[in-house]
Chain A
């Protein structure tokens, strides 16, 4: 079971904060969701160069000079590596009973793998649509944005939690009322 994280929120928060400050000193604040656009731009540019180049948004956010990867993409790729290494080093890689289903979800919704994967997929779709409309996600707006005291980032954080809490309560009705 993954009951308690290896690092306490105090230590993890302190280290994460120092890393974001370091990134801001060396390059720029930390953000993830732009890299979804960069990835899309790379793939789509390979498949349909003309259509991709004529898309205003992909042109704006892709690494347009060479339609390749940059610092930000490598950072997100690093996050993938770091998480995998950390999970393996602490023997918590693939520790779920069913890799597709969190135990808590199964308890509430039953043993329906396809339903969970569909939910996860639609969730991802909404996450990135929202993050791109806002211009950032939990990292770019909530952490980096609020830390720069950006007004819009406070608004984004409040909106996320308002709708996130409401949705979670609806999904877990039986639990929320107890």
Chain B
């Protein structure tokens, strides 16, 4: 049952992302070159909706939240590595799956590289443990940092700022 649910939600997510252009190399590189804001707007719009949605669910105790630990050093290094891979391939771990399904062979190579990269990480994991334990602040959110008991009080203004940003501030710059 849960497997079928995953399949159903995943199919819907995959279709929406594909139709939204998330698996397009040109759209992703356009975002990183700050010329085409489509993908940035798409991500920020998603975050704006999801933030309010999740914290509204949390009000009625229905959000199955999963807060990841904040280990500053490890996460920043990881992000810098990820960003290089993002720009070189033009995909991310999710969009290369989508693009592979569209028959794009380069995306299939990214997917394969990803499987090997994850295996490589599994091998070196014991040696990288210090990166995760140092500067680790645990499962903190903006709500816990600012001692706000109900996250919705941050979620609503945060989403409002994102909406302002995507509808009023971010503009495409074409050559």
Contact surface of A with B, Cβ cutoff 8 Å: 2, 4-30, 32-33, 36-37, 39-40, 44, 55-58, 69-87, 90, 92-94, 96, 99-105, 116-153, 155-169, 171-172, 175-176, 178
Tell whether A125 pairs with B25 under 8 Å between CB atoms, given A12-B20, A148-B54, A149-B155: no
Minimum C-beta distance from A63 to chain B (A)? 11
Interchain CB contact (< 8 A) of B90 among A14, A26, A102, A145:
A102
Inter-subunit contact A137/B9 (CB<8 Å): no
B143 within 8 A of A: yes
Interchain CB contact (< 8 A) of B83 among A18, A74, A105, A164:
A164
Inter-subunit contact B50/A147 (CB<8 Å): yes
Inter-subunit contact A133/B128 (CB<8 Å): yes
Give the chain B neighbours of A168 by CB distance below 8 A: 29, 32-33, 87
B119 within 8 A of A: yes
B64 within 8 A of A: yes
Give the chain B neighbours of A122 by CB distance below 8 A: 85, 88-89, 113
Inter-subunit contact A127/B16 (CB<8 Å): no
Minimum C-beta distance from B9 to chain A (A)? 5
Give the chain A neighbours of B26 by CB distance below 8 A: 2, 102-104
Given contacts A81-B14, A128-B114, 6 further A-B contacts (CB under 8 A): A37-B121, A83-B18, A126-B82, A132-B118, A136-B68, A151-B142
Inter-subunit contact A75/B50 (CB<8 Å): no
Minimum C-beta distance from A36 to chain B (A)? 4
Give the chain A neighbours of B23 by CB distance below 8 A: 83
Inter-subunit contact A33/B11 (CB<8 Å): no
CA distance A175 to B24 in the complex (A): 18
From DSSP, what is the main secondary structure of chain B's interface residues?
A: helix
Can you spell out 29 A-B residue pairs with CB atoms less than 8 angstroms apart? A24-B65, A26-B64, A32-B97, A36-B93, A80-B101, A82-B10, A82-B14, A84-B101, A87-B102, A99-B105, A101-B106, A120-B91, A121-B110, A122-B113, A124-B96, A129-B118, A131-B82, A137-B94, A138-B95, A144-B50, A145-B68, A147-B50, A148-B51, A151-B70, A152-B137, A155-B75, A156-B78, A159-B82, A167-B84
CA distance A72 to B10 in the complex (A): 9
Residue of A nearest to B26 (CB): A104
Tell whether A78 pairs with B29 under 8 Å between CB atoms, given A16-B20, A44-B119, A130-B81: no
Minimum C-beta distance from A98 to chain B (A)? 9
CA distance A172 to B175 in the complex (A): 13
Inter-subunit contact A146/B83 (CB<8 Å): no
CA distance A105 to B86 in the complex (A): 14
Interchain CB contact (< 8 A) of B5 among A6, A18, A26, A105:
A26
Give the chain B neighbours of A27 by CB distance below 8 A: 2, 5-6, 64
Listed from nearest, the 7 A-B pairs whose CB atoms lie closest are: A78-B10, A159-B79, A123-B89, A13-B45, A17-B49, A124-B113, A82-B14
Give the chain B neighbours of A120 by CB distance below 8 A: 88-91, 106-107, 109-110, 113
Inter-subunit contact A102/B106 (CB<8 Å): yes
CA distance A178 to B35 in the complex (A): 11
